[in-house]
């Protein structure tokens, strides 16, 4: 079994040597484009529904503060949701926080 380990390593190195760098460049470019798209800020407006990551509705956005953080009224309290947790998933404004986490936020 140990006789084949160097042969397998050599075959792997030889295979990788023949892979064109353009393939790696295209892959890197595609990953970069997807990352930029995912990192694009979400356009938030008052009245839009805010959803939890599990798809359940949390509350409509009451307003968006100057920092871009959406604020919702939940259980009679004005709660600020960090904009860093907000993204658009399937056309819905979604936070990575659960409703319970949003409710316990300050």
Q: Counting beta carbons within 10 angstroms of the beta carbon of residue 1, is it exposed (0 to 12), middle (13 to 18) or buried (19 or more)? A: exposed
Question: Would you give per-residue pLDDT tens digits along the chain (106 residues)?
Answer: 567 677 666 666 666 666 555 444 555 555 545 544 555 678 888 999 999 988 899 999 999 999 999 999 999 999 999 999 999 998 899 999 999 999 988 6
From the DSSP assignment, how many helices (H) and strands (E) are in the chain?
3, 6
Q: Where do the DSSP E strands lie in 55-99?
A: 57-64, 70-74, 77-80, 86-89, 92-95
pTM of the model: 0.60
CATH architecture of the domain covering 49-103 = Roll (2.30)
Domain positions in the chain = 4-39, 49-103
């Amino acid at each position: 079994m140990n006789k084949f380990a160097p042969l397998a390593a050599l075959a792997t190195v030889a295979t990788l040597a023949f892979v064109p760098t353009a393939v790696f460049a295209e892959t890197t470019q595609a990953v970069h484009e997807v990352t930029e798209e995912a990192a694009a800020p979400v356009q938030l407006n008052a009245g839009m529904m805010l959803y939890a990551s599990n798809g359940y509705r949390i509350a409509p956005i009451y307003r968006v503060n100057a920092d871009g953080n959406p604020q919702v009224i939940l259980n009679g309290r004005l709660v600020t949701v960090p904009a860093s947790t907000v993204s658009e998933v399937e056309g819905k404004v979604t936070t990575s926080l659960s409703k319970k986490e949003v409710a316990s936020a300050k």
